[in-house]
Chains A and B, each alone.
Chain A
Amino acid sequence: MVFEQEQEEVAPGAVHGHRLSTVVPSSVTGEVDYALADADLAFKLHYLRGVYYYPPGEVARGLATKVLKDPMFPWLDDYFPVAGRVRRAEQEAAGGEGDAGAPRRPYIKCNDCGVRIVEAKCDRDMDEWLRDDAPDRLRQLCYDKVLGPELFFSPLLYVQITNFKCGGLALGFSWAHLIGDVPSAVTCFNKWAQILSGKKPEDTVLTPLNKPVQGQSPAGVTAPRSVKQVGPIEDHWLVSAGRDMACYSFHVSDAVLKKLQQQQKGRHDAAAGTFELVSALAWQTVAKIRGGDVDTVTVVRTGAAARSGKSLANEMTVGYVASAGSSPAKTDVAELAALLAKNVVDETAAVAAFQGDVLVYGGANLTLMDMEQVNVYALEIKGLRPVHVEYGMDGVGEEGAVLVQPDADGRGRLVTAVLPRDEIDSLRAALGTALQVA
């Protein structure tokens, strides 16, 4: 008997009927441990939530759960660390008085425990759902669990398959940032889709093995400006922000982009790209609704520097920018964009080397994340391209975060803001004016 609470009243239009199951790697991995890099541990309190919407039709109708699950078994053979569980290293017996109080270093035990699959239904049409533009709809379509309180039994990845009344399908991925950054995650998901479509994906590279960085900054040093120190975190890897956070996505159209680019034409330092322009707009809007006081922002980008080529890694650059003097609410978007282009202070190494637990997104400052280069629309299932993709984040601090993503046709941008719930309405109103083309 499916143990859903059939007797309970289901709020009309809510996602319901959740059925959990597990998918494991198809062959035995053996006694393997996956070491976590310092950069991985810096992001351990954050969780990516990505939703892909697929339109109703013949192809979607043929996507029974079994069809979606079967390719996951060989997929996890390649990505076996994702099917593992977090453990803490054994206490060092000998070797001096290594702090008895210091938490033991986490690692991933690749015990083939698996990835959790959630099947759910929604009694609304997908178009209606998308048009509604409800804040935090991401949370309904991605299983919102985190690592802990039982680390031993917490999956690193949840995949939720939601079926809409019209036949449309939504795939929601909940990915622990610990195991890899957005490009790693998206490549991982794309590989699953390739296996489903019968193609052979590229090999997964999991070497060289992660090692703790030499020259750790000694304890007692303050955290880098980009991040906020929290904790110490025990076994529940979520810092609950005092206020309820919600994700809200909005579209920055081609036309608006052109207008922004026009605005910076006259400047001598017109070096800002679309990310800088769009996130500057977001920065300015958030500053307006908060009445100033967003002087510094943290910037997380998929490094312009080449990635190492490892399939699972946290290699995004982390830095901060301070707005010189004037409040960002009153500064031009073009000027803010110029700051973002030129004046970012890189703190990637310092953040990785820092020993305590930190909040990168929304911790110390509003965080702007660059996802422009990430090919999210490549997750084609049997040739069916998603009509809409939005990525949000959980575990974001009160300062909030803004994720800039490519949109469906590649010319505009989709922006997801993760802010305290009570700021969402003000944001919508402020955006109404900001996004006008005329």
Chain B
Amino acid sequence: MGSSAAHQLKQLKPLYQHVVNNFVAVLAAPLAVAAVVNAARVGPDELLGRLQALRAVHVFLAVFVAAAAATLYVMLRPRSVYLVDYACFRTRPNCRVPFATFLEHAKLVTFVEGASIDERSVRFMTRLLERSGLGEETCLPPAHHYIPPYRNMEASRAEVELVIFSAIDDLLAKTGISPNAIDILVVNCSLFAPIPSFTDMIIHRYGMRPDIRNVHLSGMGCSAGLISVGLAKNFLQVAPKGAHALVVSTETITPNYYVGKERAMLLPNCLFRMGGAAVLLSTSRARARFRLARVVRTLTGAQDSAYRCVFQEEDGEGHRGINLSKDLMTIAGDALKANITAIGPLVLPASEQLLFALSFIARRVVNRHVKPYLPDFRTAFEHFCIHAGGRAVIDELQRSLGLSDQDVEASRMALHRFGNTSSSSVWYELAYIEAKGRMRRGDRVWMIGFGSGFKCNSAAWECIAPARTAEGPWAESISRYPVDIPEVLKH
């Protein structure tokens, strides 16, 4: 074999894909031709005679059964869910936190009774920040600009109101919908669950209907945004036709500043930043911009290591924080594999699935050392929105999925500009792709979220109409992107 052979194979690949993907047509065409040829040979008179010989009952039954089957199929098919529009929280310059300020604050908090961040922790955080892939424009809530930061309920509520009310205001303005036309309200925020809940806050502020179906999902981790979309989709199946569902994804940073010195628990302080998104879903196609093709949820929490991977607990000194285990990357990789196995058959074209099946068989039957075929997800999707959990997560996913730098550009740039905004990061990345003008009608988008549990959730969208305006969280900064992010940003 040689490179010329491999090159020939590559050239044959498109032909192969065409044949396999349109297999039914490829098979049906010669059969149809044969039938026509046969009928022609038999002659029209002969055909008419055969038809009249059929009994009326049989004909009626055949037609009835076919019609009944078709109707049943149409009725039992799940309703299509569409995304009318979405809006992300637009960060303000007065919430900006440069690296130097973050580190200075961490250092000064050491003097506060009750905090035990020490010199070593500050140096560790410096190294983390330098390698994190975050930029100098990420934002923290106003309460965290104080020394020491406020972590009380009033400040937390203030942050929530700032983020979600402005995102919802933007969304209502974009879609022109009135708050009392919303039938379903799903909010997810992992680390802050006050009474009354976020949904009650929203209903109170916007004067929504008394019969609205509202759910607040808390503790579900960074992939909860896609879980909320899945839940809203299910609600929409039983709601009246044309109902609207508002999904709000956010994470509240204010109450969660970790003041201890456990290294595994300092990472969230450095990476998590303010952000939120509001999304309007509906079963009505009017004014819709995307169609929700699939939501696939995978959980690996049955295994101990996955369960303890991202764990909120108190450290040895009693300070509460989120402990990230050392094998986070391995577990994320495993969860991703599980998710791909589930979503692959649903979205990949037949050609890729066949190749994967063949390679699978080859590994089992022929030779253990045949390399497993990595399905090329770029045949299924044009755009990828990978949760910007951190530089390592994005690198790992790029490697596992065999994606190019341009495919993961949205994730890297969202991490740089906004930091890890938890469940809303996939929406910031979608906003990036649209702000760059790369979204076309018919493009398919894959959103992947990871979170504690350990969960890996996917949503597949198909674009119906790209964004109509340039408004959004990237409006002022998009001209500066993409930026080249160095391995280490020295300070």
Contact = CB atoms under 8 A, between A and B. Distances in A.
A21 B93 contact: no
A73 B104 CA distance: 18
A22 B140 CA distance: 12
B136 A112 contact: yes
A73 B100 contact: no
Contacts of B320: none
Contacts of B148: 3
Contact of B101 (A3, A20, A22): A22
A111 B96 contact: no
A150 B119 CA distance: 13
A27 interface: yes
Contacts of A74: 93
Contact of A28 (B105, B137, B145): B137
Contact of A1 (B135, B136, B151): B151
A428 interface: no
Contacts of A26: 93-94, 96
A250 interface: no
A20 B147 contact: yes
Which of B97, B101, B104, B146: most chain A CB closer than 10 A?
A: B104
Interface stretch (B39-47, B107-115, B163-171, B447-455): B107-115
A19 B145 CA distance: 11
A168 B384 CA distance: 56
Which of B99, B100, B145, B491: most chain A CB closer than 10 A?
A: B100
B108 A70 contact: no
B65 to A, nearest CB: 69
A319 to B, nearest CB: 39
A85 interface: yes
A112 B104 contact: no
B400 interface: no
A112 B100 contact: yes
Interface in A88-120: 111-114
A124 interface: no
Contacts of A2: 150
Interface in B139-156: 145-148, 150-152
Contacts of B136: 28, 112
Interface residues of B, number: 26
B96 A113 contact: no
Nearest to B122: A153
Contacts of A70: 94
Nearest to A152: B104
B147 A22 contact: yes
B430 to A, nearest CB: 24
Contacts of A19: 146
A113 B145 CA distance: 12
Which of A19, A70, A153: most chain B CB closer than 10 A?
A: A153
B130 to A, nearest CB: 13
Contacts of A23: 94, 145
A157 B49 CA distance: 103
B147 to A, nearest CB: 4
B112 A111 contact: no
Secondary structure dominating the interface of A: loop
B98 interface: yes
Contacts of B98: 24, 28, 111-114
B101 A24 contact: yes
A2 B137 CA distance: 27
Contacts of A28: 98, 135-137
A74 B92 CA distance: 12
A301 interface: no
Interface string A62-102: 00000001100110000000000100000000000000000
A113 B152 CA distance: 25
Contacts of B97: 24
Interface string B466-491: 00000000000000000000000001
Interface size class of A (residues with CB under 8 A): 20 to 34
A19 B101 CA distance: 17
B150 A113 contact: no
Contacts of A22: 101, 104-105, 145, 147
A69 B146 CA distance: 13
Given A1-B151, A21-B146, A112-B100, A73 B94 contact: yes
A112 B357 CA distance: 55
B246 to A, nearest CB: 29
Given A22-B105, A24-B101, A28-B137, A1 B150 contact: yes
A287 to B, nearest CB: 44
Contacts of A21: 145-147
A114 B93 contact: no
Interface in A17-41: 19-24, 26-28
Given A111-B491, A153-B104, A153-B107, A24 B151 contact: no
A85 to B, nearest CB: 7
Nearest to A74: B93
A69 B94 contact: yes
Interface in B50-105: 93-94, 96-101, 104-105
A235 to B, nearest CB: 15
A74 B93 CA distance: 9
A3 B96 CA distance: 23
A301 B103 CA distance: 39
Given A28-B136, A85-B100, A153 B108 contact: yes
A269 B104 CA distance: 57
Nearest to B94: A73
A27 B100 CA distance: 14
A204 to B, nearest CB: 18
Contacts of B108: 20, 153
Contacts of A73: 93-94, 96
B93 A111 contact: no
A275 B112 CA distance: 47
Given A3-B113, A69-B94, A111 B100 contact: yes
A177 B145 CA distance: 26
A27 B146 contact: no
Nearest to A69: B94
Contacts of B135: 28
Interface string A146-171: 00001001000000000000000000
B110 to A, nearest CB: 11
A153 B119 CA distance: 13
Nearest to A5: B113
Given A3-B112, A24-B96, A28-B136, A114 B146 contact: no
A114 B101 contact: yes
B256 to A, nearest CB: 15
The 6 closest A-B pairs by CB, nearest first: A26-B93, A113-B100, A112-B98, A111-B100, A20-B147, A21-B146
Interface of B: 93-94, 96-101, 104-105, 107-108, 112-114, 135-137, 145-148, 150-152, 491
9 contacts: A20-B108, A21-B146, A22-B147, A69-B94, A70-B94, A111-B99, A111-B100, A114-B101, A150-B107
